[in-house]
Structure 1
Amino acid sequence: MNVDELVAIDIHTHAEKSCRAPLLEEALAMEEAKAKYFKNDLGQPGIPEIAEYYRQRKMACVIFPVDAECCTGMPRVPNDEVAELVAQNKDVMIPFASIDPARGKMGVREARKLIEQYGVRGFKFHPTVQGFYPNDRMAYPLYEVIAEHKLPALFHTGQTGIGAGMPGGAGLRLKYSNPMHIDDVAADFPDMPIILAHPSFPWQEEALAVATHKPNVYIDLSGWSPKYFPPILVQYANSLLKHKVLFGSDFPLITPDRWIADFNKLPIKDEVRQLILKDNAVKLLGLKSAA
């Protein structure tokens, strides 16, 4: 990956399509509700298609599946499949994995294998769809492996479009994704970079408090069009947290084209704009130019 040639690094994109695990019929209703919520007409592009999409825009992306199999019963996109396909597109892609903490020792073993044999560079957690509080001690053995390798852990925070509008929200509970639960994790694993994904509605101020208090906590701006960002988030991104805020789109649910077009309309300082779009991610992920 030649970092110097990139115009931006998208820290938050999804691998939602597997060649090994076809979509179950019972998952179709949730996918339809998700597409309606985000007004997404891209469907579920495969990893090679996503790579070409970003390549054409001179961007790189962090990509991951979401393992919610234990809570939802829906098969995950296999982590090793994602890592193998990303390795074929490493000029524009960085692989993260997702392991439900409920997998226990099996998950810990899988995490170590993914890091050591597949070169995975971070891990994604979604407390709402995985049904756990981030500070639940059952997750700590998994965090220990991630922290040992000084890799980032990215946590969904705030409301989610998954299950939105479905009866009972598809049984998913928003309470798990309050960013204040991640404050405990940041205190207990100070050497593990933590990314709070999304504007954390309705807990935006909690997320800003954690990120300003804990040196290892960052915020990504994915999942929302920037035109809907609360003013306090823009204020902190422009000042106290300018080195800790990251561009993320939530592709394919939101495209980087749409996100950046709206971001360009925000009153962000020029030097901060470059930090958010690229430089903060370069530093956090330890990326280097291929030149």
Structure 2
Amino acid sequence: MRTREEAARLNAIDVHVHAEISCCQPLDPIQAEFNRAASEYFGIPVERPSIPDTIAYYRERQIGLVMFTVDMEAGTGITRIPNEEIAEAAGDNADIMIAFASIDPHKGKKGALEARRLIEEYGVRGFKFHPPLQDFDPGDPIAWPIYEVIDHFGLPAIFHTGHSGMGTGMPGGGGIRLKWGQPILVDDVAVRFPGMKIVLAHPSWPWTDEALSMALHKPNVFIDLSGWSPKYFPPQIVRYANGQLGRKFLFGSDFPLIPPDKWIAAFDEAGFKSHLRQPILKDNALDLLFGAEEME
């Protein structure tokens, strides 16, 4: 998706797609334990698609995808999939794919240097943070060096919010602290870094109303609806989408945990007004990724 015009020809844009199997390194054994628990929670196979398999899946459906890994090396000890691998795949499939990077905030200024390099040399177009898995408060100054780079370039950053399917059912929840997924913790980031487009990932349960308040209050805050089937959305999601926040919601599946076909089918039956279908499935993502067009 090199241009807005190219992306607009696609059927939809999924802003939340995970890379879970690297082509250049073996699966981390700790990651394998998390995958098994997540498979039981979501009711999906333990085997995960490779990056090329995922791209082929989306190309067949002519759905654009934003792909990323999660760098959680400090919080879990899991070796991350290289950001460069995802960025190179996006470069080879630029008609349908955009790469976001993930850098553990505990890497501080070193992480900020990596972020700048990935933007300038690899064409990375945004970043992904998962505070519960990365074990950090998103408002902690430890992350500010990386945020400063993102803000400088005016790029989007996706923050996991709400309950985490990862770690669910594992002893101690896999060591994951759910409190770091509270959306209001990201509010300080939205204030301090207004050039950063912040996407609160998932319906944010059990703090859904916090996310809705932030999206209503802050021009730079958006919500992606990944990780849940729309038929299970808290009712206020549909109510606010049909009201004041129709331009703030984004289609995201959380693939491979939820297939986009299944998500879209449930979305069409969830009570969203028909005129919001194209904005949520595609147009709002176009504005986020390429800049908003003038509205009449």
1:86-143 deviation per Cα after TM superposition (whole angstroms, max 9, x unaligned)? 2111111110000011011211110000000000000000000000000001111110
1:167-212 deviation per Cα after TM superposition (whole angstroms, max 9, x unaligned)? 1101110000100000100011111100000000100001101110
Unaligned runs of 5+ in 1: none
Higher relative contact order (CA 8 A, sep 6+): 1
Match of 1:230?
234
Aligned pairs (5 A) from 1:1-291? 1=1, 2-41=6-45, 43-286=47-290
Unaligned runs of 5+ in 2: none
Moved more, 223-232 or 17-26: 17-26
Whether contact under 8 Å (2:223, 2:249) holds in the other structure is yes
Whether contact under 8 Å (1:42, 1:252) holds in the other structure is no
1:144-187 deviation per Cα after TM superposition (whole angstroms, max 9, x unaligned)? 00000000010000001111001110111000010000010001
1:205-251 deviation per Cα after TM superposition (whole angstroms, max 9, x unaligned)? 01101110111000000000000001101111111110110000000
SS of the aligned residue for 1:243 comes to coil
CA RMSD, aligned part only?
1.3
Whether contact under 8 Å (1:7, 1:278) holds in the other structure is yes
- Percent identity of the aligned residues? 57
How does the TM-score come out when normalised to structure 1? 0.96
Moved more, 234-243 or 245-254: 234-243
Whether contact under 8 Å (1:11, 1:62) holds in the other structure is yes
Q: CA deviation at 1:31?
A: 1.1
Name the CA distance, whole Å, in 2 between partners of 1:243 and 1:263. Answer: 16
Name the CA distance, whole Å, in 2 between partners of 1:24 and 1:139. Answer: 25
Q: CA deviation at 1:29?
A: 2.0
Name the CA distance, whole Å, in 2 between partners of 1:287 and 1:187. Answer: 20
Whether contact under 8 Å (1:69, 1:75) holds in the other structure is yes
Q: CA deviation at 1:26?
A: 3.4
How does the TM-score come out when normalised to structure 2? 0.95
Whether contact under 8 Å (1:3, 1:287) holds in the other structure is no
